Structure 1
Amino acid sequence: MSTRTFVVGVGMTKFEKPGSRDWDYPDMAREAGTKALQDAGIGYELVRQAYVGYVYGESTAGQRAVYELGITGIPVVNVNNNCSTGSTALFLAAQAVRSGTVDCALALGFEKMQRGSLGTTFDDREQPLMRHIAALAELAEFAMPAAPWMFGAAGREHMRRYGTTPEQFAKIGVKNHRHSVHNPYAQFQVEYTLEEVLAANMVYEPLTKLQCSPTSDGSAAVVIASEEFVERHDLSAQAVEIVGQSMVTDLPSTFADNSAISLVGARMTERAAREVYEQAGFKPSDVDVIELHDCFSTNELLTYEALGLCGEGEGGKLVDAGDTTYGGRWVVNPSGGLISKGHPLGATGLAQCSELTWQLRGTADRRQVAGAQVALQHNIGLGGAVVVTAYRPANR
């Protein structure tokens, strides 16, 4: 049995610099979850399963988080998939509804992070990314912090292969900071010139600080429902249908290609996107608005190609043509993306879903993409997993 699956409620907190607000993860979850339930117009007692994502936290923190919304005895599943944790929770909630197991599920994600670069918690065992790091160290001399080194090395490879320039990567940072100015949920709401982005502190060439996503505190939540639930609760006017969804983990090519671009997930994204386009029955050119995983500006450009927005090696041309902002062929990261909106790991994928839901409802205020009818979401976590999801308004 398979049923049509809809987003009927979304909510999120403002993303904040770690430690800048006096709150804990239950407070974040209560705020985001309450907003999502209120948006759907339902009580927590109608939720039949909950999938709760976080990367940094103790076991069963998911239960503690959703107990702020109610204690009803339903299955609560704790989810951790690195930076794709939020969209993995979304994937599982949608799968539960799509299969007919439940008619309403909640996906919630949160993160309470430490300031500075990401670190490790357990040092008495192998780190999950060691195989990726070891493979990349054969291609590029290891540097810390590891995340900008990995994605920076992929950017350098793209520059060597295709002539991509630091300015083209920096323009992505300019765009996303400019988009975030109108997003009240964004951690940063400051516009920068190209010169300012290029002149910011160098983290790992070509990545300056203003091209890197920050650590963040925050939460986001999404209510998923079946077609019958939507009809019973008269939610079709606000419902957004998930018309395609795919989750892909590392492929043999991740390690066999001897490529930094493959090691940071481009091939996973290609496969997931291809599967989603087939499920949804449309092409990249049919998409209006995209939220993608710009943990670093280099990854946004690589993802343009992996999603099929342009040919291999042509991402820089897409940037120069202005095709990924308002007035272009697509609007990519109208929220400001991870670079400017922030990146609380467990919440990121659900915040992307929230933004696209608002866009397709036509309620994104000054960020609104005119006439948006088809949306695409991309979220990646190294180690590795990619989730790509396509959306349309239910009443289309």
Structure 2
Amino acid sequence: MTGEIAVLGAAMHPWGKWGQSFVRYGVAAARSALADAGLAWDAVQSVVGAGSVRCGYPGYVAGSTFARAMGLNATRVTTVYAACASGSQAIAAARDQILAGDCEVALVIGAESAPKGFFAPNAGERPDDPDWVRFRLLGATNPAYFALYARRRMALYGDTVDDFAQVKVKNAAAGAQNPNARYPKAVDASEVAASAVVADPLRLLDICATSDGAAALVLTSLDFARRHGADKPVRIRAVSTRTPAYPRSDLDFPDIATDADGAGATAFRAQLAQAAYEQAGLGPDDVDTAEVYDLSTALELDWYEALGLAAEGEGAKLLRAGDTALGGRIPVNPSGGLASFGEAVPAQAIAQVCELTWQLRGQAGGRQVPGARTGITANQGLFGHGSSVVAVR
């Protein structure tokens, strides 16, 4: 088990479609996180920005962009890009700096001003860009491959469109309790069924939107936290950042994914979680709540199994029993998930840790998981970037 760091501050800029610069959102979240930590900007020794490819050159150098906007004070700056896993890999970079003794206080920021509709491929000919290949040559936008995952679950495990709709119903009920959510509104299964088919069997309400938003964390050494009066802060105990083992396909089919020795049949997502559990010295039975990457309703069910909360093929059974809903045995996405927020890509993995922080502090209001002491996140990005964070109190 490696060293722990403290989460002294957590904050978000509400998700939506605000039509403003991502820098404005990121700075607002950062200032709120510093206020939450009880620290001034000049206490920050490192700024780690989660990069964005949709916000021009400032997004490519997000660490410097945010540091400049906050007011340059000779901080160390780092920018990390790993698509949807950018935020958690930014957390990993800050954690490494703190544990190495390079700084005591790091500010991690992710923000985006996202385009409306499906994410489009980058302009020009980009045969080395998997999105360009998938969109331009195959015509497979993100919802198309979400639908492939859904069909696979239906064929292998007997999941139904009603199961997928219940994921949305569950997450919307939690999101209705979250003031930062873009869609703070409960829905029922009939509303999901009545929404337009986007990629059969998935309907509009089965798929997350694209959003503007931001999230920020103030991370410190445990010694610094104690010196500043935080005797029992939320602590990040593990950050797993991995890529798949070769050979594999871009779909995590267990019969072709292999472990590092080439001998096993463990899917990539499960490898992410296992690495986090091993690093934290914990297991699935220790987890009180989880924030997972619900790009679609069907994908959330895959994460139940990858995190070890249910056996392979039994994610829908866990859902049907009410175990993953607020008030259930292991609430998943008590924030409301991407179903309630949409994607603000560099911010979303940071937002997951914000939610764990509030849950473990007992500050989550109407969506509070009673007695939560341990939480885990899971996220996956382009080129196989993956991440999982374990937080404890």
Q: Give the TM-score normalised by the residue count of structure 1.
A: 0.90
The runs of 5 or more residues in structure 2 that have no matched partner are 258-265
Deviations 1:49-71 (Å, cap 9, x if unpaired)?
21101322213243222322221
Aligned twin of 1:83: 84
Please give the per-residue CA displacement for 1:110-131, whole angstroms capped at 9, x wherever unaligned.
0011111101223222253269
Matched, 1:44 2:18: no
Distance, in Å, in 2 between the alignment partners of 1:386 and 1:245 is 10
RMSD: 2.3
Q: What is the aligned partner in structure 2 of residue 154 from structure 1?
A: 149
2:84 match: secondary structure: coil
- Name the aligned partner's letter for residue 32 of structure 1: A
Shift of residue 36, structure 1, vs aligned partner? 0.6
For 1:43 and 1:3, the matched residues in 2 are separated by: 26
Number of the residue aligned with 2:236: 242
Shift of 1:23: 2.5
Matches within 5 A, 1:1-16: 3-16=3-16
Q: Would the alpha carbon gap of residues 202 and 360 (structure 1) be closer, same or farther in structure 2, given more than 3 Å must change? A: same
- What is the distance in 2 between the residues matched to 1:340 and 1:325? 14
Is the 2:169–2:186 Cα contact (8 Å) retained in structure 1? yes
Instruction: Name the CA shift for 1:261/1:25 in 2 (closer, same or farther; >3 Å).
Output: farther
Partner of 1:310, secondary structure, is coil
Q: After the TM superposition, which parts of structure 1 deviate over 6 Å for at least 4 consecutive aligned residues?
A: 260-263
Q: Could you tell me how far 1:300 is from its partner in structure 2?
A: 0.5
Aligned residues of 1:52 and 1:77 also touching (Cα < 8 A)? yes
Verify: 1:26 aligned to 2:28, yes or no. Answer: no
Residues 1:259 and 2:256 aligned together? no
Task: Give me the whole-angstrom Cα distance separating, in 2, the residues matched to 1:49 and 1:130.
Answer: 32
One-letter amino acid of the counterpart of residue 209, structure 1: L
Q: CA separation in 2, counterparts of 1:267 and 1:96?
A: 30
Quick check: 1:375 aligned with 2:370?
A: no
| TM-aligned CA deviation for residue 258 of structure 1 | 8.2
Q: Distance in 1 between matches of 2:133 and 2:300?
A: 20
Name the structure 2 match of 1:199: 194
> Which amino acid is 1:163 matched to?
G
Q: Which amino acid aligns with 1:302?
A: D
Conserved in 2, the CA contact under 8 Å of 1:291 and 1:332?
A: yes
Deviation at 1:360, TM superposition (A): 0.3
Matched, 1:209 2:204: yes
Quote the Cα distance in structure 1 between the aligned partners of 2:359 and 2:36.
15
Query: Match for 1:168: what amino acid?
Result: D
Partner SS for 1:323: coil
| Alpha-carbon shift at residue 254 of structure 1 (Å) | 3.0
Corresponding position of 2:100: 99
For 1:318, what is the secondary structure of its paired residue?
Answer: helix
**2:116 matches 1:115:** yes
The structural deviation recorded for 1:143 is 4.6
TM-fit CA distance, 1:132: 8.7
Distance 2:131 2:326 in 1: 40
Q: Percent identity?
A: 34
Post-superposition offset of 1:162:
1.3
| Secondary structure of the corresponding residue to residue 83 of structure 1 | helix
> In structure 2, what is the Cα distance between the partners aligned to 1:301 and 1:220?
25
Contact 1:222 1:350 in 2 (8 A): yes
SS in 2 for 1:177: helix
Equivalent residues in 2 for 1:1-396, closer than 5 Å: 3-17=3-17, 21-55=18-52, 56-57=54-55, 58=57, 59-129=60-130, 133=134, 142-144=138-140, 146-237=141-232, 239-255=233-249, 259=253, 267-393=267-393
The 1-side partners of 2:301 and 2:225 are apart by 37
SS in 1 for 2:267: helix
Question: What is the letter of the counterpart of residue 334 of structure 1?
Answer: P
Cα distance in 2 for partners of 1:123, 1:194 equals: 41
Structure 1: which 5+ residue stretches go unaligned?
Answer: none
Question: What letter corresponds to residue 179 of structure 1 in structure 2?
Answer: A
The answer to whether the Cα contact below 8 Å between 2:20 and 2:113 also exists between their aligned partners in 1 is no
Displacement of 1:343: 1.5
- Seen in structure 2, the aligned counterparts of structure 1 residues 50 and 314 have a Cα distance that, compared at 3 Å, is same
Q: CA deviation at 1:133?
A: 4.4
Q: Distance in 2 between matches of 1:14 and 1:114?
A: 17
Cα separation, partners in 2 of 1:291 and 1:258, compared to 1, 3 Å: closer
Q: CA deviation at 1:24?
A: 1.4
Q: Quote the Cα distance in structure 2 between the aligned partners of 1:132 and 1:381.
A: 16
